A and B are shown apart, each in its own frame.
Chain A
């Protein structure tokens, strides 16, 4: 289980997280929604120890991430897969080498590594891309390789940072399906997105991050039925909290 308790983070004079408290339940996909710049990615990076919170605690499997030694943090990262917004593939390496890197660090033998690489690429439907370089792949394929790199580690958790941003609807649906399939394999997911169609498809629970705190958290049904004007505005994609968007072609009186 991942637990964030009163997490605060500021960059210079600008506070981003102002006390985020959220439980990520095992075996579920928890989706964090919120506008751009509200700290969704910062929250993910706090979980994996890439960013240190100014206050509050982040617990993974009951251990405070900030209190871990370097060796313990390395071991923790072996249990957490991270899918970056722009995939963050190593562009000097082939797809197979990208997947192999984390497995080598886990100390696996060559045969197991080859097997895991092939299996992970098959899961993301890219079995023939092993020898290609990231520059030869489309944006959607890179993101799928990013997921393959994460699941190859057989992690307990996967953190997805904007997995469908910039993708066409069909590729987005493929990504959604992958995230659901990964959850069904028993992997706990944390998905950061502002794509509501994706959030409703992959999420078991949805948390909305607003002005540095969790505004509301609930099941997909609870969020769909929310009466909170800020959450409603976000999930319906309206420009203001008060008024609905005028129908196309209608002249405002």
Chain B
């Protein structure tokens, strides 16, 4: 059985590959005539098409958060703190991270499977023989699109998550809209939003980067594409968790 986890020798090669690939990607960024016309289509595909899954997750996150905070606060903390907890948690942590994780599955797997199939069917080589730089043509528009669109999708998820928490609070808890909003506003800072959006932009870049990297590294046939896709999702999720901790250390 082939293992998805990397062996130590693989890890050294992987790190070297990441370094070399990052340098190539930076150079490919200057090839605007190649990636420019492809950016809008990728933004729609990776971002707009991901909105439904992100909103689905946000709705249930909002519901659970409001019920959970009510359960925790009952008798100890005023119930209007439900609004504060739902708002802070959705905007600063669960909105970006859960959306990032969902999109790591959807976007990371999509990119890796597509590029991996192109690699094993020699379509990437064909691009090179047509004088295109595959990184500029395939990777740059995807990484940029994910970096730009993850915050947009996350912003929608934040709004829907808080709204779901509010609707749950006024219908299932002994809370009025005024009380929920009072809690929401009491601890609100503008930083809550931009902190979440900056994080999600970095998640988008990491997820798409891992997808492209694994796609280009694909070897063999269908099995190779499967392995690359699994690795892309796993590494994308790991990158999100590491970046989440990094931003907490740097920005909080």
Contact = CB atoms under 8 A, between A and B. Distances in A.
Contacts of B125: 45, 50, 82, 84, 88
Contacts, number: 49
B130 A88 contact: no
A102 B129 CA distance: 9
B218 to A, nearest CB: 15
Interface stretch (A32-40, A72-80, A194-202, A211-219): A72-80
A14 interface: no
A26 B46 CA distance: 47
A77 B131 CA distance: 6
Nearest to A106: B131
B128 A88 contact: no
A82 B131 contact: no
Contacts of B121: 86, 88, 91
Interface string B97-139: 0000000000000000000001001110110111111000000
A90 B131 contact: no
Contacts of B130: 77, 101-102, 105, 149, 153
A190 interface: no
Contacts of B123: 88-91
Interface in A45-61: 45, 48-50
A50 B131 contact: no
A106 B122 CA distance: 21
A80 B129 contact: yes
Contacts of A45: 125
Nearest to B128: A50
Interface string B219-251: 000000000000000000000000000000000
Contact of A48 (B118, B129, B132): B129
Contacts of A90: 118, 123, 126
A84 B127 CA distance: 12
A204 B7 CA distance: 50
Interface in A87-116: 88-91, 101-102, 105-106
B131 A88 contact: no
B122 A88 contact: yes
B36 to A, nearest CB: 13
B126 A105 contact: no
A88 B132 contact: no
Contacts of B118: 90
A82 B132 contact: no
B250 to A, nearest CB: 36
Contacts of A86: 121-122
Contacts of B126: 82, 84, 88-90
Nearest to B37: A104
Nearest to B129: A82
Contacts of B131: 74-75, 77-78, 102, 105-106
A86 B129 CA distance: 15
A197 to B, nearest CB: 25
Nearest to B126: A88
A78 B131 CA distance: 6
A91 B126 CA distance: 12
Contacts of A101: 130, 132
Contacts of A88: 121-123, 125-126
B128 A77 contact: yes
A88 B129 CA distance: 11
A182 to B, nearest CB: 16
Contacts of A89: 123, 126
B12 to A, nearest CB: 16
Interface in B71-90: none
Contact of A50 (B129, B132, B133): B129
Interface of A: 45, 48-50, 70, 74-75, 77-78, 80-82, 84-86, 88-91, 101-102, 105-106, 149, 153
Given A50-B125, A81-B129, 19 more contacts: A48-B128, A48-B129, A49-B128, A70-B133, A74-B131, A74-B133, A77-B130, A77-B131, A78-B131, A80-B129, A82-B125, A82-B126, A82-B129, A84-B126, A86-B121, A88-B125, A91-B123, A101-B132, A149-B130
Interface of B: 118, 121-123, 125-126, 128-133
22 contacts: A49-B128, A50-B129, A70-B133, A74-B131, A77-B128, A80-B129, A82-B129, A84-B122, A84-B125, A86-B121, A86-B122, A88-B123, A88-B125, A89-B123, A89-B126, A90-B123, A90-B126, A101-B132, A102-B131, A105-B132, A106-B131, A149-B130
A-B CB proximity, top 8 nearest: A102-B130, A88-B126, A88-B122, A82-B129, A77-B131, A74-B131, A105-B131, A84-B122
